């Protein structure tokens, strides 16, 4: 089944318009959804809308509200909410260009692939892609879709473009308050060299397929086992835990040396000595 486009329209750069299609680059197929079940009957639990002091209420008596103070709400009709929604536009205007390193990773939200809509759009699409690549820039714009407006960044991705939705400034928490009490002191050189050697030893090209969600795998196996047994008997199996000596690491130097395995450290440690 062909992928369904998340958005269709045109990217506009000054007077140039490029018809494109945008597709989600992520999927949630690995997730397992669990329902709440009434154990004696084996039937799914349903939820009833209730109001304290009133009891169950009909759906047509429910409207949306925004709490302005404890227990006090501004009530909003569906028509009022619809009236302020941003009209879904078919044009994504490229308003600014920035260096990729200027965008803090905290702002990135969700990735999408951008492809030319047809052969006629391909030439202009390729020109934009290669111009971004040559300038080493990321394009910024705002995408209006499904009633809201999203800040987006666009950059080259192989033969296509990658669009990533970004969080707005008021959606990001700054880390300074969480890090305020961390000591400003620099670590000892020997400790730093040991940690650096350990990092270098475990360095490798990124490959997402090397990592698996062990929880999902274990949960799926448990579901399969219980489905085949058709039993309500509880099945509890230990999940492999990383080897641990127990307790907190008190001697950091000894722990790092043990992790490195006695390998030499320092800038010259990875170079072979020339034979005489």
Q: Give pLDDT tens digits along the chain (276 positions).
A: 568 899 999 999 988 999 999 999 987 766 788 889 888 888 999 888 899 889 889 888 899 999 989 889 998 888 888 887 766 678 999 999 999 899 999 999 999 999 999 999 999 999 999 999 999 999 999 998 877 889 999 999 999 999 999 999 999 988 888 888 888 888 888 888 888 888 888 888 988 888 777 878 888 888 888 888 776 677 766 655 555 555 554 687 788 788 887 666 555 444 444 443
Does 52 fall in a domain? no
The whole-number pLDDT of residue 12 equals 92
The whole-number pLDDT of residue 273 equals 41
DSSP alpha helix (H) spans, the chain: 78-84, 119-135, 176-179, 189-201, 214-229, 252-260
Does 142 fall in a domain? yes
The whole-number pLDDT of residue 174 equals 84
Does 150 fall in a domain? yes
E strands along 100-159, which residues?
108-116, 137-145, 148-157
Does 240 fall in a domain? no
How many helices and strands, by DSSP H and E, does the chain display? 6, 13
Does 68 fall in a domain? no
Per the structure, the complete domain to which residue 134 belongs is given by 7-26+85-169
- What is the rounded CA–CA span in Å between residue 225 and residue 234? 11
- Residues in contact with 106: Cβ distance below 8 Å, sequence separation at least 6, in sequence order: 167, 172
The whole-number pLDDT of residue 240 equals 58
Q: Which two tokens stand for residue 65?
A: 């509200």
Does 176 fall in a domain? no
- Residues in contact with 19: Cβ distance below 8 Å, sequence separation at least 6, in sequence order: 8, 9, 10, 116, 117, 118, 120, 121
Does the predicted model carry a pTM greater than 0.75?
Answer: no
Does 11 fall in a domain? yes
Domain count, the chain: 1
183 phi and psi, to 5 degrees?
A: -60, 140
**CB pairs under 8 A, 24+ apart, for 101-108?**
103/138, 103/153, 103/166, 104/172, 106/167, 106/172, 107/166, 107/167, 107/172, 108/153, 108/164, 108/165, 108/166, 108/167
Does 89 fall in a domain? yes
Residue 126 belongs to domain with CATH number: 2.40.290.10
């Amino acid at each position: 089944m062909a992928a369904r486009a998340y958005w269709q329209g045109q990217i506009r750069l000054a007077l140039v318009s490029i018809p494109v299609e945008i597709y989600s680059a992520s999927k949630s197929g690995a997730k397992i959804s669990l329902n709440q079940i009434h154990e004696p009957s084996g039937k799914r639990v349903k939820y009833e809308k209730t109001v304290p002091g009133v009891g169950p209420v009909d759906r047509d008596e429910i409207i949306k509200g925004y709490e302005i103070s404890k227990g006090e709400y501004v009530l909003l009709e569906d028509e009022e909410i619809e009236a302020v929604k941003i009209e879904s536009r078919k044009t994504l205007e490229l308003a600014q260009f920035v260096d990729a390193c200027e965008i803090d990773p905290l702002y990135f939200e969700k990735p999408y692939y951008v492809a030319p809509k047809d052969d006629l759009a391909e030439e202009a699409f390729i020109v934009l892609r290669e111009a971004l690549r040559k300038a080493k820039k990321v394009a910024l714009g705002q995408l209006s879709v499904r009633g809201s407006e999203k800040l987006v960044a666009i950059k080259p991705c192989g033969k296509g473009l990658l669009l990533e939705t970004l969080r707005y400034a008021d959606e990001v928490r700054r880390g300074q308050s969480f890090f305020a009490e961390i000591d400003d002191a620099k670590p000892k050189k020997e400790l730093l060299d040991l940690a650096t050697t350990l990092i270098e030893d475990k360095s490798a090209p990124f490959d997402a397929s090397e990592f698996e969600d062990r929880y999902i795998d274990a949960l799926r196996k448990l579901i399969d086992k219980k489905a085949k047994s058709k039993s309500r008997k509880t099945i509890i199996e230990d999940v492999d835990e990383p080897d641990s000596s127990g307790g907190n690491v008190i001697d950091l130097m000894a722990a790092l040396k043990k992790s490195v395995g006695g390998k030499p450290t320092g800038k010259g440690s990875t170079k072979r000595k020339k034979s005489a």
